[in-house]
Structure formats: structure tokens, C-alpha cells
Amino acid sequence: MSLLEIEDLAVHFATEDGPVEAVDGVTLDVRAGEILGLVGESGSGKSVTAFAALRLLRQPGRIVGGAVRFDGTDLAVLDDAAMTPMRGARLALVPQSPRTSLNPVIPIGWQIARVLRHHAGLDAAQARRRTYDALREVGIPEPKRSYGQYAHQLSGGMCQRVMIAMALAAGPQLLFADEPTTGLDVSIAARILDLFRELRARTAAAIVLITHDLGAVASICDRVAVMHAGQVVEIAPVRDLFRHPVHPYTQALVRSIPRLDRDEPIVAIPGSVPALLRPPPGCRYAGRCNWRSDECCGTRPALRKREDDRRVACFGVEAGRVPAI
């Protein structure tokens, strides 16, 4: 059953030249205890979707339609006073660039402890003890010593772990991780991904992994949602998605990645992401798609259930035009 249900979400950014339609009719769900990968290139709207769900969007961005149902409550219509207690305590975010997200002049231990004092109402001593636990849980060595360190004294991987500890401190049910492995070395990134897997097992929190790294997705996600230009094009269990990608964009994405284990030519995705300022009506991948039809260019395809647990938004797939790979 779903912990988070995003239905037909639309987000616009007001600019001098008109609204930029960053998110257009996004529908997806996150189930309790799962790791959902949210994949797409820059500008695909994946971060914006997460921020919209957390109600962290700032002007000129705003939600113009749709619902974000978390455990029954529609977050999209809550005001700030009602939303603030939920952030951190029930929904949390691990933002991009961990080092710049940490306050540079406050020791990292304090920053975690503050979260605990605020949400769990602990006093200073209790918060400190719980922080040591939190640091240990995310694999930071020597918690007592690390407590007093500053962000610049820690490596990128360590900063990321601190951010994860902060996000999990108050025991949220849902965690958004925004590009947690970008900028990290391969071996460090692998360990962070392992950490997510461990944490999911230990805390039963659901995790939404926002990334453009398909390898990361393949290694820890249960299901994957693929976004393109503000629209969700395919949601499927991870194995199915990689073995047999159905949507043309997913297929193109998988084919464009150089592989370490195979010797295959790569094929670049044709065309480029359409402008979101006055976006084409209909499917936004149509301009780049080999199997487009007039219908694709006029109407937006809805996510339709296929076999098992897979949903695809493509007229070509429904009509059987798109070959399977």
C-alpha cells in the first residue's frame, strides 16, 4: 500500500516570458519500505517533484494542480504552519551537495542534535547521546570525536553520511535523497548506496532516490520511475526496466550508457529536451521519438498499466509500434 501518492501534479515557474511548465501531470506512488528510483536528465523535473512534495518550492515556482497524498493528507493544500512539523519528522530530504548544505560554522554534531531537540523534544544531554548513535548508524567512525568536527574537516563521503544522519534523526517514514552519489568517488558512492540499503532494512523507511545514475538505481532500487521533460514516462520494477525497457525514452537511455561489462557501441539519444516555456502539447518526447504519430503530438499519453507492476505512458507502445528490446 502506498505511503505517498502523487497524482497529476503540475508545477509552474513564473518568468518574464511566461510560465515554465516544469512538472506536467506527474503521477507516481511510493510504497512503504521500498526504494524508488526517480530517474531523468537535468530539467526532467525530478528534483522539482520532490521539492513540491515537501512543499519546499519557492517563488517563482508553485504547485498549480494535482495532489500529493501522504498517509491520507494532501500536502499540496497544507499551509506552512501545518507542513513544517511534518518535515523532518515524517518526510525528510537529503539535499544535493552535502558539503554546502551543512552549516560551515557549527560543528556537525550540533546540527544533528538540533534536529533531535526540535522534533523529539530531547534535552541537550539526551540529544547528544542520540547523536552519537545516529553517527554510528551511518558508519561515521569515532562518533564522540566526529561530533565536534566542522564540515570542511570532513570528506565528501563523510559529509553525505552526516546529512543522512540528520535526515533520519527524527525517524521519518519517507526520505528523499537528491543525487546522493553525484560528485562522490566510485568507491565512496558504492558505500553510500550500501548504507541506504542497510538503513532501509533497519528503519523500514521508504526512500526515493533521485538520480541520473542508472547504475546506482540498478544496484539498490526496487522500482524505478523514469521522467522526461516534466512527465513520467515509465514506472516499473527495476529488473524489468533494465531487462526490457518499454518506453522509447527508457530504451534510448539504457542504450546510451557505456558499459564496463560489455563491449557495445553506444547510441546517443536523438534530439534534445524540449523547451518547457511553451512546451509542445502532447507527449514531450514526441519530438525525439522514432515512433511518433500525430496522436502523440496532440494529446498527452496517460500512464497505463501493462503486465505486472509496470506502467507506461506511450501511444506507440499501446499500439504496438515500439519494438521490445
Using CB under 8 A, list all residues that contact other proteins. 13, 15-18, 20, 22, 41-43, 47-48, 51, 56-61, 95-97, 100, 155-157, 178, 185-190, 193, 212-219, 238-239, 242, 253-254, 256-261, 263, 266-269, 272-273, 275-277
At closest approach, how far in Å is the CB of 218 from other proteins?
A: 5
Helix axes 124-137, 108-120, angle to 10 degrees: 120
- Following DSSP, what letter does each residue of 130-195 receive, concatenated? HHHHHHHHTT-SSHHHHHT--GGGS-HHHHHHHHHHHHHTT--SEEEEESTTTTS-HHHHHHHHHH
At closest approach, how far in Å is the CB of 127 from other proteins?
A: 27
CB atoms within 10 A of CB 144: 11
At closest approach, how far in Å is the CB of 319 from other proteins?
A: 25
Backbone phi, psi, residue 90, to 5° = -120, -30
At closest approach, how far in Å is the CB of 312 from other proteins?
A: 19
Q: Which is nearer to other proteins, 277 or 319 (CB)?
A: 277
At closest approach, how far in Å is the CB of 220 from other proteins?
A: 8
Q: Which is nearer to other proteins, 18 or 85 (CB)?
A: 18
Residues facing 211 on adjacent strands: 39
Q: Which is nearer to other proteins, 25 or 40 (CB)?
A: 40
Q: Which is nearer to other proteins, 17 or 123 (CB)?
A: 17
Residues facing 39 on adjacent strands: 211, 226
How wide is the angle at C-alpha 2 spanned by C-alphas 118 and 73, nearest 5°?
55
Q: Which is nearer to other proteins, 23 or 113 (CB)?
A: 23
